[in-house]
Amino acid sequence: MPEAKVDKVIRFGVGLATAESLYRSFPALNSIPQLRRSLWPQFLGTGSATTVALTFDDGPDPKSTPLILDKLDQLGVKATFFCLGEMVERYPYVLKDVHDRGHDIALHGNWHRNHLFRSAKSIRYDMERGFDTIRSTVSSEPVYFRPPYGVITRPTLATAASLGLRTVLWGTWGRDWRSAATPASVLKDLKSNLEAGSTILLHDSDCTSAPGSFKSTLGALEPLHSLVGMNGWRMVPLSEHGF
């Protein structure tokens, strides 16, 4: 990111902090990995020194999630899927497949809506509906929550706590939602902040991304698995990440 743009984002963040609260500055600051790391270490999902956690957002999606699941089976890897309630309502059988293959099911909200400037009541309704939909579909309760766009507000945290959910963002991402993404670019972006204990953010659906972007995600999984192995780490779901 060019320095002038970084500067602008920081000033935007500071401006929001003055006008609202530090929590409300989070979305702007969140776009800069170094700031995210130093300001919000408790949400990065940093785990044990021998593992990296693999997580996917925005599914379940009948077009792409089964392909991701097949690749993970082939690699012998389990992951954590942050699901949208509205996608679960449409495609419950895909969520059941994710669950039956032994992956963690987590909550990403009922709808993919930014929590910034939304009322506490609206956020609560959204999260509770998604939570209930997942619970009634796979007969188990999600344990982790990741808000859309990584935007955390006070009502986000309060609702997560009341539902017994641990809020987890990520330590590194593949920027796999972009139309310009390729398997090589996804791997390169992941590597830029990948270290022992990292939590990785990818997407198993393009429902909020560029159409077909999941193909880049899919293509990056095998080389990512090799890279993690070469470092002597294991790729695991959040429930085995030791954090």
Q: Which residues are catalytic?
A: 57, 203
Q: Which CB atom, from 57 or from 176, has the smaller least distance to Zn ion?
A: 57
Spatial separation of the C-alpha atoms in residues 95 and 228, rounded to whole Å:
27
How many residues belong to the chain?
243
**Least distance to Zn ion, CB of residue 58, Å:** 5
Minimum distance between the CB of residue 112 and Zn ion, rounded to whole angstroms?
Answer: 5
Among 13, 45, 57, 134, interactor with Zn ion by CB under 5 A: 57
Candidate residues 46, 58, 126, 137; the one interacting with Zn ion per rule CB under 5 A: 58
Backbone angles phi, psi at 110, to 5 degrees: -85, -40
Nearest approach, Cβ of 217 to Zn ion (angstroms)? 13
Number of residues that bind Zn ion (CB under 5 A): 3
User: What whole-number distance in Å separates Cα of residue 193 and Cα of residue 174?
Assistant: 10
> What is the contact mask toward Zn ion in residues 146 to 185, using x (rule: CB under 5 A)?
--x-------------------------------------
The window from 38-46, 55-63, 118-126, 231-239 that contacts Zn ion (CB under 5 A) reads 55-63
User: Cβ 34 to Zn ion, closest distance in Å?
Assistant: 22
The span from the CA of 75 to the CA of 67, in Å, is 13
3-state secondary structure the chain: CCHHHHHHHHHHHHHHHHHCCHHHHHHHHHCCHHHHHHHCHHHCCCCCCCEEEEEEECCCCCCCHHHHHHHHHHHCCCCEEEECHHHHHHCHHHHHHHHHCCCEEEECCCCCCCCCCCCHHHHHHHHHHHHHHHHHHHCCCCCEECCHHHCCCHHHHHHHHHCCCEECCCCEECCCCCCCCCHHHHHHHHHCCCCCCCEEEEECCCCCCCCCCHHHHHHHHHHHHHHHHHCCCEEECHHHCCC
Residue nearest to Zn ion (CB): 57
Segment interacting with Zn ion (CB under 5 A) among 53-61, 95-103, 123-131, 154-162: 53-61
From the CB of 197, what's the least distance to Zn ion, in Å?
Answer: 23
Nearer to Zn ion (CB atom), residue 63 or residue 234: 63
Nearest CB to Zn ion, comparing residues 18 and 122 = 122
Considering the complex, state which of residue 81 and residue 233 has its C-beta at the smaller distance from Zn ion.
Answer: 81
Q: Which range binds Zn ion by CB under 5 A, 52-60, 151-159, 168-176, 221-229?
A: 52-60
Using CB under 5 A as the binding rule, the residues of this chain from 130 to 149 that contact Zn ion are: 148
Establish if 126 lies at the interface with Zn ion (CB under 5 A): no
User: Residues in the site for Zn ion, rule: CB under 5 A?
Assistant: 57-58, 148
